Amino acid sequence: MNSSVTLSIGDSYHLRSGKDRITYAGMPSDNVYSIVQRKRESLPYGWSGQAWNLFYPRTQKTIRIDGVNISVESVTTDEIRLQIG
């Protein structure tokens, strides 16, 4: 099932049940965009989370995060449009 998603800076999207969340982190330079991959786990004493920035060249249109294929339709300093497959 493919879904089209548009994320502004700071917006998050849950890839699917059992998978991570992603957040658009903008463009640190003219030719690079960043997506934050976030994990959240249940531990005996509560919830714990980890996150890290992934950096991609602006020309890269196909990425894979947590086993999910993602096509980048467009990217600007303010938003990114994705096709999540």
Tell me what pLDDT residue 22 has: 96
Please give the Cα distance from 85 to 64 (Å, whole number).
10
The structural domain count of the chain equals: 1
Give the pLDDT of the chain (85 residues) as one tens digit per residue.
578 999 999 999 999 888 899 999 999 999 999 999 998 765 567 666 789 999 999 999 999 999 999 999 999 999 999 999 8
Please give the Cα distance from 80 to 73 (Å, whole number).
8
Please give the Cα distance from 63 to 60 (Å, whole number).
7
Domain that holds residue 15: 3-84
Tell me what pLDDT residue 60 has: 96
